Chain A
Amino acid sequence: MIRVQRDIFDIGKEIEALTSGRTDIGAVVSFTGLVRDFNDGNDVTGLSLEHYPGMTERELAKIEEEAGSRWNLQASLIIHRYGEMALGEPIVLVITASPHRHDAFEAAHFLMDWLKTKAPFWKQEMTADGDTSWVKERESDVKAAKRWTTNA
Chain B
Amino acid sequence: MDVQTPQLHFKEQPIDPDFGDFRVKSRDFASYFFTGLTGLATWLIVALLAVILANVVYHGWGTLSWRFISSDSSEDMFDATRAGVLPMIVGTSARVILMTLFVLPIGVITAIYLTEYARSTWMITRIIRGAVNNLAGVPSIVFGLFGAGFFIYFVGRGIDSVFYSEVEGGVWGKGGGLLWASLTLAVMTLPVVIVATEESLRAIPPGLREASLALGATKLQTIWKIVLPQALPGIMTGGILSVSRAAGEVAPILFTGAAYYMAGYPEGLRDKFMDLGYHVFALSTQSPNIEMTRPILYATVLVLLILTFTLNLVAILIRARIRRQMRSMH
Asked if A pairs with B, the answer is no
B contact set with A: CB distance below 8 Å: none
